[in-house]
Structure 1
């Protein structure tokens, strides 16, 4: 499992190790070969994610995280070679705001947003109530596996 960051972006080793554990666990749950998988992560400011959100989702507002999956369906994953699962874009500003709002650390919020995004890359969504419930359960399972207890997020 390789996680690539935009040039010049440095991530704390503890956060990186936890991100990697989260991604590996998500991949194992979905039976995707983690040894062949690559994910790109970029941290951006509010205005940049707003522009991306407007361009790709027709929503003109700052959001916390965007996911750009390479596959519409996990059955499209090639049997051999590298699996470029997709791109994760996390807004540092929103992560900090949400950490304060929910009363937990910035690091915990980054891990949650990253996990949320990985699940999107693996085909999960939350547009319909049943999908949202399934995705939230999977997020809680991953966070519990990481030893990160549920917070007051309530989503």
Structure 2
């Protein structure tokens, strides 16, 4: 499992602790789905302005959001819907997709919800990963996705009170 984290914002300081939260959330999502093939996930940390541009271009919604996911595999609830995977030609890793997270929105939501920034970042990373793995909250399967998210956060010691 390779997690590529790129920081293109300057609102929130990004340190090893932030990287470890992101990497652990990705690891636990893959583990919970028994996805043990060598894979790569790209996560870009950005500000509200940058994510608003992407949200407008990709979803025709002209406002910032917290997280967007761009899967490269066709999956449904953690199971591949087709044989064969796109792989990086240099590393031969399966390309799961890209996740973009607004660090500004993450900080704001953590304060609004009364929990830690770490929990919010882990939640958004987990939410994005589950989308890459074929889960959806707009197709009547919201409860399944919610349970998966909460299970990962609990394993990280980041339940709703933290």
- Shorter-chain TM range is 0.7 to 0.9
The answer to whether residue 157 in structure 2 is matched with residue 147 in structure 1 is yes
Instruction: Measure the CA separation in 2 of the matches of 1:17 and 1:46.
Output: 23
Is the Cα–Cα contact under 8 Å of residues 95 and 106 in structure 1 kept in the other structure? yes
- Which one of the candidate residues 68, 82, 85 is aligned to 1:78? 85
User: Mean alpha-carbon deviation: is it higher for 16-25 or for 66-75?
Assistant: 16-25
Instruction: Measure the CA separation in 2 of the matches of 1:116 and 1:48.
Output: 19
Instruction: Measure the CA separation in 2 of the matches of 1:49 and 1:4.
Output: 18
- Which one of the candidate residues 39, 42, 65 is aligned to 1:40? 42
User: Mean alpha-carbon deviation: is it higher for 142-151 or for 84-93?
Assistant: 142-151
The answer to whether residue 21 in structure 2 is matched with residue 18 in structure 1 is yes
Structure 2, unpaired ranges of 5+:
none
Instruction: Measure the CA separation in 1 of the matches of 2:7 and 2:153.
Output: 28
Structure 1, unpaired ranges of 5+:
none
Instruction: Measure the CA separation in 2 of the matches of 1:27 and 1:43.
Output: 20
- Which one of the candidate residues 81, 95, 108 is aligned to 2:106? 95
Q: In the alignment, what sits opposite 1:112?
A: 123
Q: In the alignment, what sits opposite 2:63?
A: 61
Deviations 1:41-65 (A, max 9, x none): 1111111111111111121111000
- Which one of the candidate residues 112, 117, 142 is aligned to 1:132? 142
Is the Cα–Cα contact under 8 Å of residues 102 and 151 in structure 1 kept in the other structure? no
Could you state the TM-score of these two structures normalised by the residue count of structure 1?
0.86
Instruction: Measure the CA separation in 1 of the matches of 2:85 and 2:70.
Output: 18
**Runs of 4+ that moved beyond 4 A:** 7-10
Is the Cα–Cα contact under 8 Å of residues 69 and 100 in structure 2 kept in the other structure? yes
Instruction: Measure the CA separation in 2 of the matches of 1:97 and 1:149.
Output: 18
Give 1:66 shift: 0.4
Give 1:91 shift: 0.5
Aligned-pair RMSD on alpha carbons? 2.2
